[in-house]
Amino acid sequence: MSLHIVVGANHCATSTARLLAESGDRVRILSRRGAGPDHPLIERITADASDAAVLTELAQGAGTLFNCASPAYNMLPIETPALAAALLTAAERSGADYINLSNIYGYGPVSGPMTEDLPMAPTTIKGRVRAQMWQDAITAHDQGRIRFAEVRPGDFIGAGSVSMFTLMVVPPVLAGTPVHMPADLDAPHSWAYPGDVARMLVALSRDERAWGRAWHVPPVSDGSVREVAVRFAELAGAPAPELINMSPLDLHNLAISDPVMAEVPEMQYLYQRPAVLDASPAAQILGLEPTPLDDVLIETATAMSSGA
């Protein structure tokens, strides 16, 4: 029976912990609130994972250290560096393999489908933080100090996920009110389901081909905001949605009053143009396929209707 450490208690983290436990492995899930799934093989621990000494102690004897932590969006540039340093220290001192759940911010603006071998070329504060986190960890891997891999999903969609779609599209569609979203509503966009992210994290931890590279999560859809919103409305039995591209001025005014929305303008390059991931290695090498989009949307509608 192997032991694994999962840092974070968001949807990806809890799904990963549950998959590991259901396969018979022991899991310690760490968060500042001590949250996590209720399972006899899951130990929920209240801890600050940015404390390298604490994380190192908890990681002793673990086979894999999964980082799924997601600092508040407006705190990501402030809190991530200390967390990243602690994760590297804990992996090196404990001997645990290290898999980091990241995103595509480090690539910067890209023309055409994004592939995992693209260089880091960030143009934003959050992108530079993610790129540095990758560079430090892959350097440690190349030096033989740790075994490391990184997982990069597109925009999250699905019940329990926190994203532009779930926050700005789902509620008004269900309410039958206009959707205001700062995006090219017809640009292709890759969407990732947290359950698929968890399956990839677990699969990589058990595959010798995983290490020393980044992996894209197979998108549940490359459809535009409009296409996915219309399909969501159909499946939820809601009226056909009216979608409006929020103006730069409206976004600016919203950002002034909301510290989280204040972080959105610098990421507009991902929403005002196509943002599509090539995740073919996940299918070709790992045999991973995405959850059907309709299943994800039905789950989302059901969860929202039940208040989950």
* pLDDT at res. 307: 57
pLDDT at site 168: 94
Give mean pLDDT, residues 124-139. 98
Q: What is the pLDDT of residue 242?
A: 97
More confident residue, 260 or 244: 244
User: Are 152 and 161 in contact, with CB atoms under 8 Å apart?
Assistant: no
Query: Tokens representing 90?
Result: 């804990």
Q: 20-24, 137-141, 164-168, 215-219: which range is least confident on average?
A: 164-168
pLDDT at 160: 85
Across 167-256, the runs of DSSP E, i.e. the strands, are 179-181, 191-192, 214-216, 243-245
What pLDDT was estimated at residue 306?
Answer: 67
Q: What is the pLDDT of residues 102-113, one digit of tens each?
A: 999 999 999 999
- Residue 52 confidence (pLDDT) above 60: yes
260 band by pLDDT with thresholds 50, 70 and 90: confident
Which residue segments constitute the domains of the chain, with CATH numbers given? 3-154+193-219+278-290 (3.40.50.720)
Percent of the chain having pLDDT more than 70? 99
Q: What is the mean pLDDT of the chain?
A: 96
Report the candidate in 143, 30, 41 with the shortest Cα–Cα distance to residue 87.
30
Residue 28 DSSP label = E
User: Could you count the other beta carbons within 10 Å of the beta carbon of residue 287?
Assistant: 9
The residue to which tokens 């705190």 are assigned: 75
Q: How confident is the model at residue 304 (pLDDT cuts 50, 70, 90)?
A: confident
pTM of the model: 0.95
pLDDT in tens, 275-301: 999 999 999 999 999 999 999 999 999
Q: How far apart are CA 27 and CA 122, in angstroms?
A: 34
Chain segment 152-197, per-residue pLDDT in tens: 999 999 998 989 999 999 999 999 999 999 999 999 999 999 999 9
User: What is the arithmetic mean of pLDDT over 62-90?
Assistant: 95
Mean pLDDT for 69-98 is: 95
Distance CA 244, CA 262 (A): 20
